[in-house]
């Protein structure tokens, strides 16, 4: 049997970060920036007012008070968006709105609250000092500044900055497009009533949601029955749309394990027994002339999800240009004894909790059968038991992979 580490290394070795692509700004959020971004303009692009008020010369309102206001004629009105370029004559005021261009020569804005709000002339009730409530050209960004470095993971705030400097497109490592296909003649989409012998396709949505949670553009194309031609046709159909394919089911040793049967013939996907529990039957390789990577995951829901966590997730993160490929882990004390298979790495669905003494404690959830989806849903970590351990004892310290996004 192949070790988990060897299999993971093979999978990671077969993929590269996707080539950088020019995308619209809204598609860039969450992506890795693939260029140093230089601002062609200054921000603010012009001196402007930080308040609704009156642009003045501070010297003209020196000593103003409610009892002895400074009264100035209002010679112009500047709304935001005004393209007029004005010059302030000393001894006058210009009524101005937040974001409107400041008249040349004005050195302060008096907020409307400190005035009588006059239109023809204004009484100003408080002094000000030069620079007050003026936003200066370039005080945020100067034309020619590098505002974002290549390699930045773009947040909504970064995208807003790109928009502010006028970019509508940007070079990023694109979001990998993941296509999920469920195989199995027993599968019925959720929402339909089950006939005898049928089950709902839970891997389809589960795996698609897992890829989406990673930020991938993930699509579940549906269910394919256990028929060689149907499986092949579905895979070929999706090749053009996918940066990575995931199938579930049909890779064990049964008579109708069609995925394995079909792809074994093509010869670019290897089917292997990996020394892990659950998730032993694994297939990985590439398909088509574009060599699209494909994971053929076992059908058992727990095996499929564990396989996703252990192999697919790091591969997808690498394809997206991420540096940290793996889930965060914490060391936790086992709350109870349990057996572990010799020679296999065991991934135990479990719940982490904090003990009164502050240490993390890990408790397996329910049964460990690979079909137990409810138990999987209630777990928040996978406790990892090393290959050479056959018995976990209460008090042993285990590494636990955290499963929830908030702990990514
Ligand atoms: P297989 O890998 O096709 O032998 O399937 C192993 C087990 O997983 C069987 O009990 C299948 O019914 C079940 N299974 C396969 N595909 C899915 C799926 N998409 N959703 C839920 N269970 C599945
Ligand atoms: Mg099957």
pLDDT, tens only, 37-93? 999 999 999 999 999 999 999 999 999 999 999 999 999 999 999 999 999 999 999
What is the 183 CA–ligand 2 centroid distance (Å)? 6
Q: Which of 326, 324, 199, 339 is nearest to 277 (CA)?
A: 339
Residue with tokens 């642009």: 55
Burial of 260 (0-12, 13-18, 19+ CB in 10 A): buried
254 lines ligand 1 (CB under 6 A): yes
CB 186 less than 6 A from any atom of ligand 1: yes
Q: How far apart are CA 220 and CA 208, in angstroms?
A: 6
Residue among 45, 31, 316 at smallest CA distance from 180: 316
Pick the atom of ligand 1 nearest to 281's CA.
2
The pLDDT value given to residue 74: 98
Note the pLDDT of residue 256. Answer: 73
To test the pocket of ligand 1, the residue of 210, 226, 263, 300 to mutate (highest count of ligand atoms within 8 Å of its CB) is 300
Walking along the chain (408 residues) 10 residues at a time, the average pLDDT comes out as 98 96 94 96 98 98 97 97 95 98 97 97 98 97 98 96 98 96 97 97 97 95 95 94 96 82 90 94 95 96 96 96 89 97 97 93 87 89 97 98 72
C-alpha to C-alpha distance for 28 and 175, rounded to whole angstroms? 8
- Residue 36, CA distances (Å) to 56, 138, 147 in order: 40, 19, 8
- Residues with CB under 5 Å of ion ligand 2 are 184, 249-250, 299
Query: 169 near 24, Cβ under 8 Å?
Result: yes
- Residue among 249, 370, 376 whose CB has most ligand 1 atoms within 8 A, to mutate: 249
| Spatial distance between the Cα atoms of 142 and 160, rounded to a whole number of angstroms | 17
**Residue 267 confidence (pLDDT):** 81
Residue 375: the pLDDT is 87
Q: Which ligand is nearest to the CA of 248?
A: 1
Ligand whose nearest atom lies closest to the CA of 247: 1
CA gap 188, 207 in Å, rounded: 16
Tokens of 38: 């230089």
The pLDDT of residue 353: 94
How far lies 261's CA from each of 227, 273, 292, in Å? Answer: 10, 15, 19
- Ligand 1 within 6 A of CB of 307: no
Q: Cβ–Cβ contacts within 10 Å for residue 26, how many?
A: 10
């Amino acid at each position: 049997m192949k070790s988990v580490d060897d299999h993971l290394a093979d999978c990671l070795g077969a993929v590269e970060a996707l080539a950088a692509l020019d995308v619209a700004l809204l598609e860039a959020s969450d992506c890795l920036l693939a260029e140093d971004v230089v601002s062609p303009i200054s921000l603010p692009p012009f001196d402007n007012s930080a308040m609704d008020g009156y642009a003045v010369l501070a010297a003209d309102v020196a000593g103003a008070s409610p009892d002895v206001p400074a009264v100035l004629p209002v010679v112009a009105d500047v709304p935001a968006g005004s393209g007029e370029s004005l010059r302030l004559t000393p001894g006058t005021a210009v009524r101005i709105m937040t974001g409107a261009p400041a008249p040349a020569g004005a050195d302060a804005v008096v907020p409307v609250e400190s005035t009588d709000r006059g239109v023809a002339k204004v009484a100003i009730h408080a002094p000000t000092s030069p620079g007050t409530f003026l936003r200066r050209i370039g005080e945020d960004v100067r034309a020619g500044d590098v505002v974002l470095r290549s390699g930045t993971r773009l947040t909504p705030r970064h995208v807003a900055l790109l928009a502010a400097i006028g970019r509508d497109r940007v070079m990023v490592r694109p979001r990998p497009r993941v296509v999920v296909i469920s195989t199995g003649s027993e599968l019925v989409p959720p929402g339909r009533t089950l006939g005898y012998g049928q089950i709902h396709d839970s891997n389809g949505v589960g795996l698609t949601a897992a890829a989406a949670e990673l930020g991938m553009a993930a699509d579940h194309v549906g269910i394919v029955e256990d028929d060689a031609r149907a499986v092949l046709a579905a895979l070929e159909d999706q090749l053009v749309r996918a940066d990575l394919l995931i199938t579930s089911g049909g890779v064990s040793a049964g008579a109708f394990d069609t995925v394995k049967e079909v792809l074994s013939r093509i010869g670019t996907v290897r089917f292997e027994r990996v020394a892990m529990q659950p998730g032993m039957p694994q297939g990985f390789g590439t398909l088509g002339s574009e060599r699209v990577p494909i994971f053929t995951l076992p059908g058992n829901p727990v095996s499929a999800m564990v396989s996703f966590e252990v192999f697919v997730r790091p591969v997808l993160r690498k394809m997206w240009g991420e540096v940290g490929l793996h889930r965060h882990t914490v060391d936790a004390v086992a709350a109870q004894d349990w057996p572990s298979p010799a020679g296999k790495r065991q991934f135990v669905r479990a719940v982490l909790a904090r003990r009164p003494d502050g240490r993390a404690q890990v408790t397996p959830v329910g049964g460990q059968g690979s079909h137990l989806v409810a138990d999987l849903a209630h777990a928040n970590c996978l406790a990892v038991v090393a290959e050479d351990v056959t018995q976990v004892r209460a008090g042993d310290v285990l590494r636990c992979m955290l499963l929830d996004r908030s702990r990514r």
